[in-house]
Amino acid sequence: MSDRPVTLIAPAIGALIAGTLKRLRRPSDGPIYPIAPGDRLWIREQFYLPRYYDHVSPTRAAELGATPVFAHDRDLPEWATGGLGPRRFARSLPKVWHRHHLIVTTVVTERLQAITDAEIEAEGHASREQFAAAWDAGLTLSGGPNRRWAADPHVLVIDFRHVAGPLPLEERSYA
């Protein structure tokens, strides 16, 4: 069993909280591979910190006792964040601040475009086009042309059980 981070974008966070998101798709050659039933995925999501922490890394802010405000809970335009600093990337969320985790139940490989319209809706997207655009946008840092929607790559289809809460301290692995 391993604990690994996985980033979810705003529509998927909402679907997870609403209970409609039951499965994830990730590149089959991506950083989450290999993955197996029983593995745990802790959710990284966008967040804000009070302006006081603008020039402090999120890890250091956590050490100093900062409390994040999650972007999903307070979907504000950048100019309306009040006493909060800029929106922080999900990938910079320290594990200690995560608030959801997933326990993997099954993993299969299939083509990306095999996703059904019902699954697209369950992930919080209104259409195949919106899902495809979100998929491609999520690859800006790690993707290449072979991972894009149009290439119809093989992906890992990961079913899971959602646990609304962080991993219990006594069960956390820090790998």
CB 103 within 8 A of CB 38: yes
pLDDT value at 157 more than 90: yes
Digit-coded pLDDT (tens) for 62-93 = 999 999 999 888 766 665 667 888 889 999 99
Model confidence at 168, pLDDT cuts 50, 70, 90, reads low
Residue 174 is predicted with a pLDDT of: 43
- Quote the pLDDT of residue 161: 94
What's the confidence (pLDDT) of residue 131?
92
CATH number of 3-46+99-169: 2.30.130.30
Evaluate if residue 104 carries a pLDDT over 60: yes
The pLDDT score that the predictor gives to residue 20 is: 87
In this structure, which amino acid lies at residue 38? Answer: G
C-alpha 31/C-alpha 141 separation (Å) is 12
pLDDT, mean of residues 14-24: 89
Over residues 145-158, mean pLDDT? 90
DSSP E strand stretches across the chain = 3-7, 23-27, 40-44, 47-48, 69-70, 101-111, 154-163
pLDDT at residue 140, as a whole number: 60
Domain locations in the chain?
3-46+99-169, 47-88
Residue 41 clears pLDDT 90, i.e. is over it: yes
Over range 28-37, report the average pLDDT: 84
Longest dimension (CA), the chain: 46
Give the per-residue pLDDT at 142. Answer: 60
Confidence of residue 145 (pLDDT cuts 50, 70, 90): confident
84: amino acid identity, one letter: L
